[in-house]
Homo-oligomer: A and B are copies of this chain.
Amino acid sequence: MPPLTIVSTIAELRTARATLPEPIGLVPTMGYLHAGHLSLVERARGENAAVVVSIFVNPAQFGPQEDLAAYPRDLPGDLARLQAGGANLVWLPDPQIVYPPGFQTWVSVEEIARPLEGAMRPGHFRGVATVVAKLFNAVQPQRAYFGQKDAQQVVVIRRMAADLNFPIEVVVCPTIREPDGLAMSSRNSYLSVEERRAAPVLFRALSQAQAAFLDGERSAEALRSRMLAALAAAPLAEPQYVSCADPDTLQEMDGSIQGCLLSMAVFIGKTRLIDNLLLPAEPAP
């Protein structure tokens, strides 16, 4: 494994980045790394000459009532995992390096950032788009890696990268799941033992709707009802939304669909979990 360089300031980052061979793959993270993150590092390693990972719990993407202060951290464990995973460079900026005094520039993606997570978390995607634009410029990678777990984030970042002409390929990697189907997430660490037992209901609900779709069900309403029924049968699960949306525009669909993005946000106790499955449209006959 290559030696792992750790930097904090932008100047240190640029100096270290200049010594790396190209192409460079960037994996942006908020730390507390799990197998999902490490699958992005592995994919980036396979496709690039060097891998840069950022660890930054971005205050701008948390709402005032959200879990910024409680967000889990394990820096020594993260660095050991990244060293073992073959990353070359880790950027660990303090918040005042990313948002220095006088900072006042924001990147906003409009229509596709409004429904779903955007409706539940006002300002969230402005914070995401802004920090990712900054990461793109600070690291200047050829490729950047994101997980399908955050389905709307992926759509927003792809749109932002295209709209602002970033010379960077956005690579989306599959959701990594626990053996019982629970999507890997740093927030799973909030779950009590009992909640953890209930949490696979998100994937179960998505899978039941997927199975119905594969059996020929094409009604968006029926797919949403199927997911809600599966969630209602589980203890502790309080759905915030279930969605059957157009995979490109993220607008909620009605009536007969071709493919769609099934997604949901569900409270398990006080912990808010999200998950999704893409149902591909059949090829035209």
A residues contacting B by CB (< 8 A) are 10, 14, 102-112, 129-130, 133-134, 137-138, 140, 159-160, 163-167
Q: Are the C-beta atoms of A164 and B134 separated by less than 8 Å? A: yes
Chain B: CB-nearest residue to A17: B167
Work out how many copies of this chain go into the complex: 2
Q: Are the C-beta atoms of A165 and B134 separated by less than 8 Å? A: yes
A106 proximity list for chain B (CB < 8 A): 107-108, 110
Q: Are the C-beta atoms of A164 and B105 separated by less than 8 Å? A: yes
Per the bound structure, the CA–CA distance linking A167 and B138 in Å amounts to 7
Residue with the greatest number of chain B CB neighbours at <10 A, chosen from A106, A112, A134: A106
A-B contact pairs, 14 of them (CB 8 A): A10-B165, A104-B111, A104-B163, A105-B107, A105-B159, A105-B160, A105-B163, A105-B164, A106-B107, A106-B108, A133-B164, A134-B163, A134-B164, A137-B166
A140 proximity list for chain B (CB < 8 A): 167
Q: Are the C-beta atoms of B107 and A107 separated by less than 8 Å? A: yes
Per the bound structure, the CA–CA distance linking A109 and B104 in Å amounts to 6
Q: Are the C-beta atoms of B159 and A104 separated by less than 8 Å? A: yes
Listed from nearest, the 3 A-B pairs whose CB atoms lie closest are A105-B163, A137-B165, A104-B110
A133 proximity list for chain B (CB < 8 A): 133, 164
Known contacts A103-B163, A105-B108, A105-B110; 10 further A-B pairs (Cβ under 8 A): A14-B167, A104-B159, A105-B129, A105-B164, A106-B108, A106-B110, A108-B108, A133-B164, A137-B165, A140-B167
